[in-house]
Amino acid sequence: MKRWAIVALVAAVAALFSGCEFTNSPLLVEGAFVNSAFRVDQDGLPANTPFGTVATVHLNDVLQNVNNVADSIKIYNISVTIDSVTGATATSTPISGIASIDGNPLFSLNNVALSALHTEHSIFDPSIAGCTFNAIGVQYLVHSLRQNPPPNVTVAVLGSSSASALHFTLHVKIYTQIYTSP
């Protein structure tokens, strides 16, 4: 009796797995996040003097954790953080500006206090007053990540503030998921 029960159990398990194709199922891997830091340091300038900084971002870096060929790369978040506020810069200092990718607007800030972004926030989060994402820049980024391999892109941060002294670092992070073949 026990023998028939074991045979039946083995047959049931074999039937369950016979339809599975382990080698053809895609693997989902979290891509390495890409972090771009933009340092702003200016002193003694008239209020509303524009600031700007540019960096080359290597989108191919999202593939650091992947040993296989990437079938597709999906963005699941883009975040912004402001830290390293130093000198005479108050955390209540408001800034306005735009971040762009290869000239395509990604997100904008309109009178956002530095302290509002002292922790990491998604650019898609509607609860941050004055922070809005731009679909054109997001779509450009999505399109860029579909290229094989993903290209280098230029990210620019341009802005202004009513303060005459500005010392802070703005971080933009891109989080991805990568689908690969096993």
- What is d(CA 84, CA 152) in angstroms, rounded to the nearest whole number? 26
Q: Residue 39 is encoded by which pair of tokens?
A: 């340092």
Mean pLDDT value of segment 79-107: 94
Confidence of residue 19 (pLDDT cuts 50, 70, 90): very low
| pTM reported for the whole predicted model | 0.79
Give me the pLDDT at residue 73, please.
Answer: 82
Span 168-178, pLDDT tens digits: 999 999 998 88
pLDDT surpasses 50 at 18: no
CB 180 within 8 A of CB 68: yes
Mean pLDDT value of segment 28-47: 84
Higher pLDDT, 25 or 99: 99
Span 42-91, pLDDT tens digits: 888 888 889 999 999 998 888 776 766 777 788 889 999 999 999 888 99
Mean pLDDT value of segment 19-37: 67
CB 177 within 8 A of CB 96: no
Give me the pLDDT at residue 3, please.
Answer: 62
Higher pLDDT, 13 or 130: 130
Domains of the chain: 25-180 (2.60.120)
Mean pLDDT of the chain: 84
Span 125-161, pLDDT tens digits: 999 899 999 999 999 999 998 888 889 999 999 999 9
Q: Residue 56 is encoded by which pair of tokens?
A: 């080359």
Give me the pLDDT at residue 63, please.
Answer: 79
